[in-house]
């Protein structure tokens, strides 16, 4: 089809385009490789293939925003189709007589049966339409409807280019590309239809009806269509649309360690500074994240720290800022900006300290990004650099360092609740026990939670479950200390606990606190503490199954909903045991819209419960209580409405939120154990079942 001059011109342009694209790719690779090392990945090809399949079925993107995700299918499959279409178009240009319209009836050398050719034509034609449709929807959403979810809150630190609408420009370029490219290609096909309509090319035939056939048209359309491709390929390496290719790769290289195990503060074999101050202090995977980021803001949607109007934290802004920072340094003229602290370029210090480490952003991300990991690394470095800490956090850390608990209580007092029990509680460091109960700070000291702690002990005793605690030898497990970034203190606590456990004889560890559960189970092994760790909900399920506990008083008078604690649910998949227990209790169960994997954090984790300063506006826990009430409203009855938790911190957060939202009397927060105690009917010596556990 093409003339010799056209061919030479195209080859020259294609080589130039390839040159720019390769330069782009090399720049990306170089930048990623400048990151520090990440934990070793096993069997990368298999993970990549798995990721490829997930991407092909668009599994990760359907985790949220179902409608838009469906429309995104048009873009996704359309562009994949177009990769083939463009190849075929080049062949059409370069091989004389290579013409696929009408099932290939003009082909001088028919190499394929016309059925296949017709199928290809049909798919190309329909997908062109799908592409045009979906891109239009996305452009309308961004530029006309101005979907709020694509914007950031006022207090979020943004790269000046982002603030000036850099992302919109990017989207516009690609949007215009898709429209012009696809339209040109469609028109080109229409111009080829010299013999009238082709039933396998309905859209092209329709256009042919309007514009007719034209040999010049074919040439012009071909050039427009393919020049766009030559322009866009290098452009993509410099825009947010790297996610086309890096996204799936990133997904394939995603973390293989358990979710609940943070990467080491100092990467193996690296220089000794923990965490990250500058962008290339982050591991290479965190750098790659920024190229993979779709900039879709799904993570921002689910972030409890982005929830209030004045919020300063947005996990997506973090990724976007990283990306723009690198881009300015590599493709732009500001390499010096790489030497600016991340707290000035990608995330404000205030935002760094707002993260609850709830993992929602990581779980929801369609391309396997871990904004939370960046935040923790930044905290880690801020801590060693002596950044000024919130006074509450400083007090908590000071107390943890000296007393082993964050509540400034004497070590000796840790087992005080147990000494008040009528049936003695064994000291596991003095006599062997089957089960070592790791109680945790809140359950040991907080007077609002201690009654529940005693109740767990009573139920264990009633079920003949042999257990002991470590009394003053237990220290805070360190989950939140690690997430606040105080790795050294975390290590100290781990060492203390492992030493104490070394003195004890037990078969497995049981915890009531999901935070302790997470770190004991997933992180202690990194430090040589390999134990079998169970959350008490799964232990109780087993006790019921074995008949050691039985429901004597079914609780059909209660209407309950359940809040999945981040560190039991999203982190460790402990969704079924608590629900199973609720089912056994015979309560009326109402599931909140945000449940299990999508549970909404109470706002206490990652050290937030220690913070002296609280961000203004509605708090996540308050929002959650409202969600529970709305859920109950769908199913009205006069049953007593209960908000069930299984985490001591939740008890505190939600009891408080019920009060601050003025919903006392409408909904009551209870620990699962209180329901169980009531349902199984505690035998003497009885302890008060009054709900004094609720904050007074």
Partner 1 sequence: MNIVVAIKHIPSIADDLPVKGNNVDFDSVDFVLNEFDEQSIEQAVLVKEAVGGTVTVVGVDMIGELDAVLHLALAKGADKAVKITGDDPAADSHQQAKWLAEAIKGMSADIVFAGVQASNDLDGQIGPMIAAHLDMPYIGGVSSVEVAGDSAMVNKEFAGGVGAKYSVSLPMVVGVQAASKPPRYAPISKVRQVAQTATIEKIAPSGEAGAGLTFKKMAPPVVTGHAEMFTGSSKEVAAKIVELLKSKGLA
Partner 2 sequence: MSNDIFVITEHMDEKFSDVSFEMVGKAKELASALGGQAVAVALGSGLSANGFASDSTIYVDGANLAQFNPEAYGKVIEALVKEKSPRLVMFGWTATGMDLAAWLSARLGKPCAAYVKNIGADLTMTCQIYGGKMSADVSPDGDMAIAAVLAGSFPVEAGQGSTAATQIESPVALDGLKIKFVEAIKPAAGDVDITAQTKLVSIGRGIGSKDNVELAEELAKKLGATVSSSRPVVDAGWMPRTRQVGKSGLKVKPKLYLMLGISGAPEHLEGMKGAELIIAINTDKKAPIFNVAHYGSTADLFEVAEAMLELL
Residues that bind partner 1 (CB under 8 A): 265, 272-274, 380, 383-384, 386, 389, 394, 397-398, 401, 485-489, 491-492
Structure tokens at 472: 């003053």
Asked if 263 is part of the footprint of ligand SF4 (rule: CB under 6 A), the reply reads no
Q: How far is the CB of 285 from ligand SF4 (least distance, A)?
A: 13
Q: What is the DSSP letter of 36?
A: B
Q: How far is the CB of 434 from ligand SF4 (least distance, A)?
A: 36
Beta bridge partners of 640: 558
Asked if 394 is part of the footprint of partner 2 (rule: CB under 8 A), the reply reads no
Which residues lie below 8 Å from residue 665, measured CB to CB, with a gap of 6+? none
- Among 166, 175, 234, 304, which residue sits at the site for ligand SF4 (rule: CB under 6 A)? 304
**Distance between CA 616 and CA 285 in Å, rounded?**
34
- Among 127, 221, 355, 510, which residue sits at the site for ligand SF4 (rule: CB under 6 A)? 355
Which among 284, 287, 290 is positioned nearest to 243, based on CA atoms? 290
Beta bridge partners of 641: 559
- Among 295, 403, 435, 516, which residue sits at the site for ligand SF4 (rule: CB under 6 A)? 295
Q: How far is the CB of 413 from ligand SF4 (least distance, A)?
A: 32
Structure tokens at 561: 């909903």
Q: Which residue has the tokens 């919020």?
A: 311
Q: Which stretch binds ligand SF4 (CB under 6 A): 118-126, 365-373, 490-498, 656-664?
A: 365-373
27 binds, among partner 1, partner 2, ligand SF4, none (CB under 5 to 8 A by kind): none
CA 234 from centroid of its chain's CA atoms: 30
Asked if 449 is part of the footprint of ligand SF4 (rule: CB under 6 A), the reply reads no
Q: Which stretch binds ligand SF4 (CB under 6 A): 302-310, 440-448, 465-473, 666-674?
A: 302-310
Q: How far is the CB of 158 from ligand SF4 (least distance, A)?
A: 13
**Distance between CA 44 and CA 82 in Å, rounded?**
28
**Distance between CA 295 and CA 277 in Å, rounded?**
23
Find the radius of gyration of the CA atoms of the chain.
30
Q: How far is the CB of 238 from ligand SF4 (least distance, A)?
A: 18
Asked if 315 is part of the footprint of ligand SF4 (rule: CB under 6 A), the reply reads yes
Q: How far is the CB of 169 from partner 1 (least distance, A)?
A: 42
Asked if 395 is part of the footprint of partner 2 (rule: CB under 8 A), the reply reads yes
Asked if 371 is part of the footprint of ligand SF4 (rule: CB under 6 A), the reply reads yes
Asked if 411 is part of the footprint of partner 2 (rule: CB under 8 A), the reply reads no
Asked if 326 is part of the footprint of ligand SF4 (rule: CB under 6 A), the reply reads no
Give the nearer residue to ligand SF4 in terms of CB position, either 35 or 315.
315
658 binds, among ligand SF4, partner 2, partner 1, none (CB under 5 to 8 A by kind): none
Give the nearer residue to ligand SF4 in terms of CB position, either 205 or 623.
623
**Distance between CA 274 and CA 381 in Å, rounded?**
6
**Residue 19 CB coordination number (10 Å):** 11
Segment 225-228 long-range contacts (CB within 8 Å, at least 24 positions apart): 225/86, 225/89, 225/181, 225/184, 225/185, 225/188, 226/10, 226/86, 226/89, 226/90, 226/93, 227/13, 228/177, 228/180, 228/181, 228/184
- Among 21, 156, 360, 584, which residue sits at the site for ligand SF4 (rule: CB under 6 A)? 360
**What kind and span of H or E run contains 88?**
helix 66-94
SS3 647: coil
Asked if 310 is part of the footprint of partner 2 (rule: CB under 8 A), the reply reads no
| Side-by-side strand order, sheet with 426-427 | 426-427, 467-469, 435-438, 508-511, 533-535
**What kind and span of H or E run contains 643?**
strand 640-645
Q: Which stretch binds partner 2 (CB under 8 A): 21-29, 51-59, 60-68, 402-410?
A: 402-410
Q: Tell which positions 130-149 bind partner 2, by CB under 8 A.
A: none
Interface residues with ligand SF4 (CB under 6 A) are 293-299, 302-305, 313, 315-316, 319, 355-361, 364-367, 369, 371-372
Interface residues with partner 2 (CB under 8 A) are 395, 399, 408-410, 412-413, 416
């Amino acid at each position: 089809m093409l003339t010799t001059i056209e061919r030479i011109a195209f080859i020259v342009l294609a080589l130039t385009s390839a040159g720019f694209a390769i330069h782009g790719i090399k720049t990306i690779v170089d930048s990623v490789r400048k990151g520090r090392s990440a934990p070793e990945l096993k069997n990368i090809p298999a993970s990549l293939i798995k990721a490829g399949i997930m991407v092909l079925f668009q599994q990760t993107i359907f985790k949220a925003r179902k409608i838009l995700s469906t429309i995104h299918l048009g873009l996704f499959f359309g562009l994949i189709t177009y990769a083939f279409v463009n190849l075929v178009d080049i062949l059409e240009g370069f091989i004389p007589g290579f013409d696929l319209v009408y099932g290939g009836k003009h082909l001088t050398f028919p190499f394929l049966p016309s059925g296949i050719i017709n199928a290809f034509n049909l798919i190309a034609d329909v997908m062109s339409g799908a592409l045009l449709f979906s891109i239009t929807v996305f452009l309308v959403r961004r530029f006309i409807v101005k979907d709020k979810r694509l914007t950031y809150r006022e207090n979020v630190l943004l790269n000046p280019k982002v603030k000036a609408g850099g992302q919109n420009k990017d989207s516009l370029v690609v949007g215009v590309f898709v429209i012009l490219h696809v339209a040109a290609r469609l028109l080109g096909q229409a111009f080829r239809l010299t013999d009238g309509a082709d039933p396998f090319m309905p859209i092209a035939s329709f256009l042919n009806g309007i514009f007719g056939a034209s040999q010049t048209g074919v040439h012009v359309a071909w050039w427009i269509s393919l020049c766009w491709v030559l322009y866009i390929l290098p452009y993509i390496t410099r825009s947010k649309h790297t996610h086309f290719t890096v996204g799936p790769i990133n997904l394939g290289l995603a973390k293989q360690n358990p979710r609940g195990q943070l990467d080491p503060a100092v990467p193996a074999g690296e220089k000794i500074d923990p965490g990250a101050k500058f962008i290339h202090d982050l591991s290479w995977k965190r750098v790659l994240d920024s190229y993979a980021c779709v900039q879709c803001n799904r993570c921002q949607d689910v972030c409890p720290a982005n929830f209030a109007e004045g919020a300063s934290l947005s996990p997506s802004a973090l990724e976007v800022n990283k990306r723009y920072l690198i881009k300015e340094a590599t493709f732009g003229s500001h390499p010096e900006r790489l030497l600016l602290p991340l707290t000035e370029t990608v995330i404000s210090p205030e935002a760094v300290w707002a993260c609850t480490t709830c993992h929602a952003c990581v779980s929801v991300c369609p391309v396997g990004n871990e904004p939370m990991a960046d935040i923790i690394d930044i905290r880690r470095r801020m801590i060693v650099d002596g950044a000024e800490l919130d006074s509450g956090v400083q007090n908590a850390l000071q107390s943890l360092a000296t007393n082993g608990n964050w509540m400034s209580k004497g070590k000796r007092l840790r087992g005080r609740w147990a000494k008040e029990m009528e049936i003695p509680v064994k000291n596991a460091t003095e006599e062997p026990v089957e089960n070592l109960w790791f109680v945790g700070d809140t359950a040991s000291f907080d007077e609002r939670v201690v009654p529940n702690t005693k109740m767990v002990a009573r139920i264990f005793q009633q079920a003949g479950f042999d257990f002991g605690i470590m009394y003053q030898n237990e220290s805070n497990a360190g989950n939140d200390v690690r997430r606040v970034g105080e790795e050294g203190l975390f290590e100290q606590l781990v060492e203390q606990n492992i030493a104490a456990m070394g003195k004890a004889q037990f078969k497995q560890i049981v915890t009531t606190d999901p935070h302790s559960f997470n770190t004991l189970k997933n992180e202690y092994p990194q430090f040589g503490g390999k134990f079998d760790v169970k959350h008490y909900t799964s232990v109780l399920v087993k006790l019921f199954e074995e008949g050691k506990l039985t429901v004597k008083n079914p609780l059909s008078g209660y209407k309950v909903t359940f809040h999945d604690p981040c560190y039991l649910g999203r982190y460790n998949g402990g969704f079924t045991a608590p629900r199973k227990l609720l089912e056994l209790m015979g309560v009326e169960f109402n599931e909140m819209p945000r449940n299990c994997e999508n549970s909404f954090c109470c706002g206490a984790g990652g050290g937030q419960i220690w913070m002296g300063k609280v961000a203004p506006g509605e708090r996540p826990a308050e929002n959650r209580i409202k969600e529970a009430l709305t859920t109950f409203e769908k199913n009205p009855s006069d049953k007593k409405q209960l908000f069930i938790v299984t985490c001591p911190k939740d008890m505190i957060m939600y009891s408080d939120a019920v009060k601050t939202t003025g919903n006392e009397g409408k909904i009551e927060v209870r620990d699962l154990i209180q329901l169980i105690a009531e349902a199984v009917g505690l035998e003497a010596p009885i302890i008060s079942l009054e709900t004094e556990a609720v904050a007074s």
